[in-house]
Structure 1
Amino acid sequence: MAENKHQILLDTLDNKRTEQVLAGFWHHYLSDEKMQVLGYRDQAVIDDVVSRQQRFYNRYHPDFTKIMSDGFFLHPSVVDNTFEVPEDLKKIQRIDVNDPWITRQVAAIKAIVDHYNGEIGSFYNIFSPWYQLRLRFEILEQDTKKIYRFLKEDPLAVANAFAVLADDLIVLSSKLIKESGIDGIYLCVQQPQDSVISTHTWQQFVQPNEVKLLKAVQEVHDYNMIHICGFEGKRNRLGDYKDYPVKAFHWASYVEGVSLKEGKKLFGGRAVMGGFENTENGVFYKGTKEEIQAETKRLLEENGRQGILLSGDCSIPFDTDDAHAGWVSEAANRLNVSP
């Protein structure tokens, strides 16, 4: 091909016409949720995840990657403190720039990106402040309602904690872009999944720090994306994100019932990513080569090609055959031979 896939990725994000539509799929590498949070404290775990992601590239040779943050899910201050009441969130404090959570993370992602030899581009998974605190309560305490109680009882305390986290995530993201070789971050966001929290409360106390984070990272390199997470059927009001300062948008098209074409219009014509259902019920997981490539053709015919990246709605199941991703890339490349 005349262009390498890394440049095609950047051109796609810039919403330019390209000679190829790129496809990328990803899954987690650690099945133990607590290890997703605490793994960064064990260099052997970090090395294992790096090796697994490198081997994934060797087997599949994706058009681009979304690198997983397995082992580094949560900020140390979120993990190391106990939070019984909202006031306890004051315990969340910024960490030193040389904290192992930052230095080991940058080194690990650099090892993964270096393995690509400049052939492809990549994003790196970052959980938003809201997502960080929610996962802390869900993973370490098995309490899915705690974050909603806190936000209802003392929204300012929650917002102040989010401001601290956003500042450190800006530091982390900036170092990753400058030192590891990623093109940008893939910020995971999600609206409250409990009606006790109003849209106004979310807009006033949650949204500002997500926007602050993205605005700062865009100034470092403007190829960042948000992932409006619909994992396990979670729903979001996509339009509430249309003014976020990002280059591209990714959402669960099957969960939200919003196609790539519709989303592209909603988000002002900016680049979009997605298309394939990511569950075990979807054609990407259980389909034959013919079925998966037929779905690839359908997606491109119905949604167009310009400013489009093909992927799953979210992480695909662990045991998905890597060949399936290659079938999508093969079909998309073949379809792009014609005008």
Structure 2
Amino acid sequence: MKIKYKRREQLLATLNNANEPQDGMLAGFWHHFLENEKQQVFGYRDEKTISRVIAAQKQFYDNTHPGFVKIMSDGFFLLPNLLDVELNTASDLEKIKRLSADDPWIMDQTAMVKQIVAHYQGQIGSFYNVFSPWYQLRLRFEILDGDPNKIYRFFREEPALFKRTLMELATDLKLLVELLLRETGIEGIYLCVQQPQGNGITLKHWEDSIKPSELSLLAQAQKVKDNNLLHICGFDGKRNDLTAYREYPFKAVNWATHIEQVSLEEGKRIFGGRAVLGGFANTEKDILFKADQQELIAATSNLINETGTKGFLVGADCSVPFKIDDERLRWVNKVARVYGK
């Protein structure tokens, strides 16, 4: 007898490699809704911006009919204790104060996600975007200071303090993650990580000083709900050693297959058979953005044929272009939904 899943139930089955191939596939894509990076960081302080993000994410769902959703953290990119503090030298990291459990950044973010999830009416499963401690600090320096090298300089100057700071940021993020997982109805978090890109920081440095904070955060999330996703970010051509993440606790993993040149099938082997998410490159130069309807439909079917149906969620390497036509994503979502039926 064939099993007929609702999309949310099917998502959970897929994460556990227990989905039925004749029930179709699930696809999901996402992009940001605020074009200005400063708005991404400070938007949470403006009720109109929060309302705009909520409305946009609801409309995106209505327009694209996805199989699952990754809710974007637009307006809430960075921990608030990273914002109103001068960080000019590595020793200034001592100035970062711990976050309280009732900070508006946590409470308002939770309320936002709860509103968005309610819009799905239990039909689909969803995840919420969270940047890792390293990612948070890197974005702070890049967006607010305009200095992408500062994070590497701080690491080299005060490695012990730097590691301790990342662990403290992880503790702050746990406050958010636990509340989100317990109260909003999301299935899990989508944790964004990325290894240092050269600048004298080796993989051994990463393992010793950065990896512990990510493991700590993800392990805590898994204690509350164990359907969390790991996103190994290859945005803008960044490269990572995928094998270094094999011991991370997660149900499914997403990486830039086209940047890393590691296929979904190979990645499944690297990660011990766990579920995988992705398949499409995500820039304006790629099929997802520029192919015609028939080409995109064929590419979707080919991707599923090549990867297989078990433990596979159709998606992209990373966020898709802001300007993409929602209709294009709806084509892919529909092809995946009826696959094998």
TM-score, with length taken from structure 2: 0.97
Aligned to 1:183: 187
- The answer to whether the aligner puts 1:13 opposite 2:9 as a matched pair is no
Q: Report deviation, 1:6.
A: 0.5
Q: Distance in 1 between matches of 2:193 and 2:34?
A: 21
Q: How does 1:81-92 map to 2 (within 5 A)?
A: 81-92=85-96
Describe the superposition over 1:156-193 as per-residue Cα deviations: whole angstroms up to 9, x where unpaired. 11111111110111110110011111110000000001
Distance 2:285 2:145 in 1: 30
Q: Which residue of 1 aligns with 2:5?
A: 3
Matches of 2:57 and 2:338, distance apart in 1: 27
Moved more, 52-61 or 108-117: 52-61
Q: Does the CA-based 8 Å contact 1:60-1:326 persist in structure 2?
A: yes
Q: AA paired with 1:261? A: E
CA distance in 1, matches of 2:314, 2:6: 17
Aligned to 2:200, which of 189, 193, 196?
Answer: 196
Q: Alignment partner for residue 114 of structure 2, among 106, 110, 118?
A: 110
Aligned counterpart for 1:75 among listed residues 54, 75, 79: 79
SS at match of 2:277: strand
- Secondary structure in 2 matching 1:118: coil
The one-letter code sitting in structure 2 at the alignment partner of 1:254 is: H
Identity of aligned pairs, percent?
50
Aligned to 1:302: 306
2:94 & 2:199 partners in 1: Cα distance? 26
Q: Specify which of 231, 237, 242 is matched with residue 235 of structure 2.
A: 231
The CA deviation at 1:335 is 2.5
How big is the shift at 1:333? 2.7
2:144 corresponds to which of 140, 148, 161: 140
**Residues 261-276 of structure 1 aligned to structure 2 (within 5 Å):** 261-276=265-280
CA contact (8 A) 1:92 1:164 kept: no
Which residue is 2:39 aligned to?
Answer: 35
State the SS of the aligned residue for 2:189: strand
1:194-247 CA-partner distances (Å, limit 9, x unpaired): 241011111000000100110111000000011000001111011111110111
Q: Is the 8 A contact 2:10 2:19 kept in 1?
A: no
Where does the alignment leave 5 or more consecutive residues of structure 2 unmatched? Answer: none
SS at match of 2:34: coil
Deviation at 1:117, TM superposition (A): 0.2
* Residues 170 and 217 in structure 2, CA contact (< 8 A), matched pair in contact too: yes
Aligned to 1:62: 66
CA contact (8 A) 1:250 1:274 kept: yes
> How many residue pairs get matched?
337
Match of residue 30 from structure 2? 26
- Per-residue deviation, residues 256-295 of structure 1 (Å, max 9, x unmatched): 1111111011000001100000000110011111111111
Determine if contact 2:239/2:260 at 8 Å carries over to the other structure.
yes
Q: CA deviation at 1:87?
A: 1.2
Shift of 1:20: 2.0
Q: Does 1:333 align with 2:337?
A: yes
1:212 to 203, 209, 216: 216
Q: Which moved more, 1:303-312 or 1:83-92?
A: 83-92
Bigger Cα displacement from structure 2, 296-305 vs 323-332: 323-332
CA distance in 1, matches of 2:302, 2:165: 45
Is the 8 Å Cα contact of residues 93 and 164 (structure 1) preserved in structure 2? no
List aligned pairs for 1:48-59, cutoff 5 A: 48-59=52-63
Q: 1: CA distance between counterparts of 2:337 and 2:46? A: 41
The list of structure 1 runs, each at least 4 consecutive aligned residues, that deviate by more than 6 angstroms after superposition, is none
Whichever residue aligns with residue 189 of structure 2, its letter is I
User: 1:231 corresponds to which letter in structure 2?
Assistant: F
2:257 to 240, 246, 253: 253
Give 1:48 deviation, angstroms: 0.6
Question: Bigger shift: 133-142 or 155-164?
Answer: 155-164
Q: What is the one-letter code of the residue matched to 2:106?
A: I
**Which residue matches 1:173?**
177
Give me the whole-angstrom Cα distance separating, in 2, the residues matched to 1:333 and 1:55. Answer: 20
The aligned amino acid for 1:95 is L
Correspondence for 2:156: 152
Work out whether residues 27 and 337 of structure 2, in 8 Å CA contact, stay in contact via their aligned partners in 1. Answer: no
In the alignment, the residues of structure 2 paired with residue 117 and residue 321 of structure 1 have an alpha-carbon distance, to the nearest angstrom, of: 25
Normalised to the residue count of structure 1, the TM-score between the two structures is 0.98
- SS across alignment from 1:80: coil
The CA deviation at 1:64 is 0.6
